[in-house]
Amino acid sequence: MTTKIIAHRGASKLAPENTMPAFNLAYQQGAEAIETDVQLTKDNVPVLIHDEHVKRTTNGIGYIKDLTFAQLKQLDAGAWFSQKYTGTAIISLEKFLEWIKPKPLYLNIELKNNKIDYKNIETIVYDMVRHYQLLNRTTLSTFNPKSVKRISELHSEIKIAFLTSRRNKNLVPYARELGANAIHVKYRLLNRFLVDQCHQANMAIRAYTLNKPSRMLKSYALNCDGIFTDVPDLALQYRTVFKEQNK
Ligand code: G3P
Ligand code: MG
């Protein structure tokens, strides 16, 4: 099995996270999938941004839930990262789906509804993915167990991952019970036992966020299904090294 390289918020080490430059760079570097985070604006537009608040990654202030998409589009989401990216905007999920549609990339859309439980975010995102006919290469994920359950009950045609950073010896049966078909775990939770337990339960396991070669090599050796990384080029380079050494 080949571990998939998933660009975490795009190639976010070299370009501002969750923006078009970061996604384009991830694609150019050869990432096989892109992970992005979704929040809902005041007027219910799904937008790509990690935090609930715009403060860290834009020149604005306020919660996404209190700003309209028209207001959010005015903000600069690149200058905080580097002057070179001044003028970069926050984008909608719709624009991202349009961009990815003709490319041979998998998608992981993370619903950021563990702090603010945005009403209907599951259905809004699901309907959009379906509209773009991307259901077969999309996984929705969330740290919110209630949301995993809602997705599995409402939209059984899409793949769902339960995200966690907490140790739980019953994690695999628990995630399965919620209706997830994959688990996305913080790297420190990754071990052979968990990988085997997932695979026996017919579930995928992916780990976040790996930027060090030693961790990447360990994940490849464990047969992890995917790794989230800010440096997809490095992860690909080390995957080649790993394959050479294990021929
Ligand atoms: O989806 C994997 C990872 O992105 C989860 O954590 O905080 O980087 O969104 P975070
Ligand atoms: Mg994320």
The pLDDT tens digits of the residues spanning 34-65 come to 999 999 999 999 999 999 999 999 999 999 99
Between strands 138-142 and 226-229, the pairing is unpaired
Q: What is the pLDDT of residues 171-214, one digit of tens each?
A: 999 999 999 999 999 999 999 999 999 999 999 999 999 999 99
Catalytic residue IDs: 8, 50
Q: Using CA atoms, how far apart are residues 35 and 47, in angstroms rounded to an integer? A: 13
Instruction: Report how far ligand 1's centroid is from the alpha carbon of 145 (Å).
Output: 15
Instruction: Please report, rounded to a whole number, the percentage of residues in the chain having pLDDT higher than 90.
Output: 100
Nearest to 145 by CA among 159, 128, 157, 162: 162
Does residue 8 have its Cβ closer than 6 Å to ligand 1? yes
User: Residues near 32 by Cβ (< 8 Å), separated by ≥ 6?
Assistant: 4, 5, 6, 105, 106
Atom of ligand 1 nearest to the CA of 37: 9
Name the amino acid, one letter, at 145. P
pTM over 0.95: yes
